[in-house]
Amino acid sequence: MKYIDQLDLKGKRVLCRFDFNVPLDENSHIVDDTRIRAALPTINYALDEGARIIVISHLGRPKGKVVNRMSLAPVARRLSRLLGKEVIMAGDCIGDEVKRIVESMRPGCLVLLENLRFHPEEEKNNDEFAKELAGLADVYIDDAFGNAHRSHASNVAITKYVKECAAGFLMKNELNYFNRAMGEPARPLVAIIGGSKVSGKLEAMVNLVKKVDKMIIGGGMAFTFLKALGYEVGRSIVEEDLLPRAMEVMSIAREQKVRIYLPVDCVIAESMEDKAETKIVPVQEINPNWMGLDIGPATITLFSEALGNAKTIVWNGPMGVFEKDAYSRGTFALAHSVANSYALTIVGGGDTDVAIHRAKESDNISYISTGGGAFLELLEGKRLPAVEALNNC
């Protein structure tokens, strides 16, 4: 795979695919611009090289129709402010008007095209749509790691129709850090897996348990494992059909001599309502009518001690319903433990990213991935279609 700094960009039209799928409030104001800021090194490099930059991205799920509240106009305004220069906003991503705007660009200019997903052909990986996008550029740069697990026209089919293709600096960082963690990691290698359900992360767990030295399991998914071991878990989240698979993960761990850490105590409540009474109990004493919503203090100590000698830590998924203050302590405490470790620390997944920022530990993590789904598929051992397309370009 080539990277942007290996190409001659001077005076060329450079089509950059970013993941600007940022959260918006009800007034279409950007709530978090992390993904826009993550693209700045690639954009600034291309500007310094005298390129004419055409930016493409998607936002939300408009399902192939024009949905005004999913316009990239707010992104254009934020990008303009961050760069300190004008960003021209096009009314579409293909068509004669877009061609006219691109043809009139001078070196150092930047145009943002409208939401790719306003066209159904984008998600269908349509060749004709990809060909029209490719016709706008001399060089194609993919820096949209967050969308790299999708086979779409703007990141897969397009690579067949542009003379030169390369990855941007964000894509480079994402892949390099992941390879450092999972390729030839410094050991002990510890995986922390949390979140609500086993089903979304089962394949990742099966793959990881064969590679790590320790696996910490928290969040709602821990109760499926606890129930598989015969514990009463009350009304906690449990995926009954996956109890055998949970046992399979633990069986593989025993064969591989990998240590599995499960909660030993938890915070329980009758409901998730703010006024609901909470208790901290050992996992053996969960009330049949209550539900587990966070790990308890003994588990925090156990998990933190398990990280004590770690040289590499990969974390995906919170330890509880951290959005609510009463159930946030476990996730935040683990964030502090990960941040204070002497390890290479890589965090992936939207919820985990948010938790790290709320715990004010983002500056103390080696790398925070911008791609939830793409990061998870790498953990599953899968190849990313967009990365494969760049490798074959």
One DSSP character per residue, 37-71 reads HHHHHHHHHHHHTT-EEEEE---S--TTS--GGG-
Q: What is the pLDDT at residue 326? A: 93
3-state helix, strand, coil in the chain (%, to 5): 40, 15, 45
Cβ–Cβ under 8 Å, residues 344 and 311:
yes
Which of the following is catalytic: 12, 13, 35, 245? 35
The answer to whether 12 is a known catalytic residue is: no
Closest CA to 208 of 364, 98, 346, 387: 346
Which residues make beta-bridge pairs with 192? 216, 315
The answer to whether 373 is a known catalytic residue is: yes
pLDDT in tens, 148-168: 999 999 999 999 999 999 999
Which of the following is catalytic: 124, 197, 235, 311? 197
The answer to whether 211 is a known catalytic residue is: no
Of all residues in the chain, the percent with pLDDT exceeding 70 is 100
Which of the following is catalytic: 180, 373, 381, 382? 373
Identical fold between 4-170 and 177-379 = yes
CATH node for 177-379: 3.40.50.1260
Domain extent listing, the chain:
4-170, 177-379
Confidence of residue 287 (pLDDT cuts 50, 70, 90): very high
pLDDT reading at 350 higher than 80: no
CATH node for 4-170: 3.40.50.1260
Which of the following is catalytic: 350, 358, 381, 382? 350
84: DSSP letter? T
Sheet-wide strand order for 259-261: 259-261, 214-217, 189-193, 312-316, 344-347, 367-368
pTM for this structure?
0.91
The answer to whether 197 is a known catalytic residue is: yes
